[in-house]
Every structure is written in structure tokens, then in C-alpha cells.
């Protein structure tokens, strides 16, 4: 199978189910942003030296691929069987967040990103995740999107924030608190 099909040379692509849509379609914006997030998650995994975190990030990449597949599907009753995001996947993120937070100091203000590239990459992933969430919400106004997809992406942005704090602690980077000048 060749990587190029030439079927998208005129600015359209096929969704799972066969419908052709323009490449700027909201559905493509949503799953394209999830794809971008998957790539940033891989970057985090490449830089992390913690085996537990690496396995968690690999699991997250898998679930992001599931989210992208769901968002790329235009049929409810087509013969293609798609994987699902389940409540246990959301619970996994919550458990990971709780475990990381149990070893971190309480927050008293907003934190500015930075201090180490790995910490900053977490914040980039968090903001891409929030953009994906906004696009998925917008898509859900037009078509059916499983609520679990939205919940997963929402929780994932929290995961990336707490992961940034964990990496700051692991790397002994001082978290720069935002102090507004009033």
C-alpha cells in the first residue's frame, strides 16, 4: 500500500464510512488536532525517563488514536467496528492525576510554563488538548460525539498540567508563580 493515494489532491478527503468532505471540515479540524496532540504526547514520552510515565503516555497515545478514529467516522450503523473510549479510560487519567498530585505541593496561584523543555512540552500538550476539546464541543453541536470522548479529552488536559508539575518536581525546577502586577 502506497502512502499517497492522490485522492486528496483536490482538497477533499474521505471519512470513515466513505463520505468525502473538504479538508477544512470541522470534523477534520477536530481529529487533526487530536493527531497533533498524539504527536506531542510522543515527544513527551521521548523525553521522559520515568518508565511508569512512559507507559501511561503510551496508553494515552492509544486512546487519542481511538478518539481520532471516532471523530473521523461519519456513520452510526456502518459495518466498520471502531474502538471506544470507556469510563475506565477516564478513571485511568483521574487515578494518574491523583497519584501525581499526592506528591506535589498545593497550588496557591497560577503557574507560568517553563523552567525546563520537558515541563514546557507538557504545557504545549495541555493547550493543544484544550483546543481539541473546543473543536470537539463545536463538532458535537452538529453531530453525535460520544460524551466519553469529550470527558477523556477534558481530563487529559488536567493530566498534562499535573504532569508538568510532576516533571518540575522531579527535575527540581522551581515553578514560576504568576504574580499579577495590580
29-59: b (≥16 Cβ within 10 Å) or e: bbbbbbbbbbebbeebbeebeeeebeebbee
| Tens digit of each residue's pLDDT (9 = 90 or more) over 128-182 | 999 999 999 999 999 889 999 999 999 999 999 999 999 999 999 999 989 888 8
Does 50 reside within a domain?
yes
Global confidence as pTM: 0.89
- Number of structural domains (the chain) is 1
| Tens digit of each residue's pLDDT (9 = 90 or more) over 50-83 | 999 999 999 999 999 999 988 887 766 667 788 8
Dig out the grid coordinates for 152 from the structure: 477523556
Q: Which domain holds residue 165?
A: 20-72+86-95+109-174
Does 77 reside within a domain?
no
Does 8 reside within a domain?
no
Q: What pLDDT is attached to residue 93?
A: 98
How far is 165 from 109, CA to CA, in rounded Å? 13
Does 153 reside within a domain?
yes
Q: How many CB atoms lie within 10 A of CB 12?
A: 14
Residue 29 belongs to domain with CATH number: 1.20.1200.10
Alpha helices by DSSP H, listed for 24-146, are 26-47, 51-71, 87-101, 117-142
Give 121's Cβ-side CA count (13 Å radius).
Answer: 18
Amino acid at each position: 500500500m502506497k502512502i499517497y493515494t492522490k485522492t486528496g489532491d483536490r482538497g477533499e478527503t474521505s471519512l470513515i464510512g466513505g463520505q468525502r468532505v473538504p479538508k477544512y471540515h470541522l470534523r477534520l479540524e477536530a481529529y487533526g488536532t487530536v493527531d497533533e496532540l498524539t504527536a506531542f504526547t510522543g515527544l513527551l514520552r521521548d523525553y521522559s525517563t520515568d518508565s511508569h510515565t512512559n507507559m501511561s503516555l503510551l496508553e494515552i497515545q492509544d486512546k487519542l488514536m481511538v478518539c481520532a478514529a471516532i471523530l473521523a467516522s461519519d456513520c452510526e450503523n456502518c459495518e466498520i467496528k471502531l474502538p471506544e473510549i470507556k469510563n475506565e479510560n477516564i478513571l485511568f487519567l483521574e487515578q494518574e492525576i491523583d497519584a501525581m498530585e499526592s506528591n506535589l505541593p498545593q497550588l496557591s496561584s497560577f503557574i507560568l510554563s517553563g523552567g525546563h523543555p520537558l515541563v514546557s512540552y507538557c504545557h504545549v500538550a495541555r493547550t493543544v488538548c484544550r483546543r481539541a476539546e473546543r473543536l470537539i464541543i463545536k463538532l458535537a453541536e452538529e453531530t453525535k460525539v460520544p460524551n466519553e470522548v469529550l470527558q477523556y479529552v477534558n481530563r487529559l488536559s488536567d493530566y498534562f498540567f499535573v504532569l508538568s508539575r510532576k516533571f518540575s518536581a522531579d527535575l527540581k525546577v522551581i515553578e514560576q508563580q504568576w504574580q499579577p502586577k495590580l
